Amino acid sequence: MPDIKETNESVPTKKTTRPKEMPYNQAVTVLVIGDAICFLIFAAIGRSSHGEASGFAAIPQVITTALPFAIAWFLVSPFVGAYRRGHTPLQSSLCFPTWCFF
């Protein structure tokens, strides 16, 4: 059995650094762009499933379809606190009030 010596030296540890948080304005911009893209995807899938024109040629029609949903969301989102400082995009407390409107 090997000899074990006790010392008072500290054990070197790895420093864990937290990633820098995104500035608030930049985070809101990313969330708004992400929401707009989701509405466009939602409208494209909906148009396709209902037999409407789809594909690159139908981009103006997809935008027209997504527009009322996006306008409604961006009018309602401040009242449910979707872009409030301190909230994370995946915070579960936002799910219920958000989906009540759709």
Q: What's the pLDDT score for residue 37?
A: 94
Question: What's the number of domains the chain is made of?
Answer: 1
Q: Flag whether the pTM goes above 0.85.
A: no
7 is a domain residue: no
Q: Does 2 map to a domain?
A: no
| pLDDT of 74 above 60 | yes
- For residues 61, 64, 69, 73, the Cα torsion angle rounded to the nearest 10 degrees is 130
Considering the domain boundaries, does residue 70 fall inside one? yes
Residue 73, domain extent? 24-99
The answer to the question of residue 12 being in a domain is: no
Render pLDDT for 42-71 as a digit per residue (tens, 0 to 9).
999 999 999 888 788 899 999 999 999 999
What does the alpha-carbon distance between residue 23 and residue 78 come to, in Å, rounded to a whole number? Answer: 19
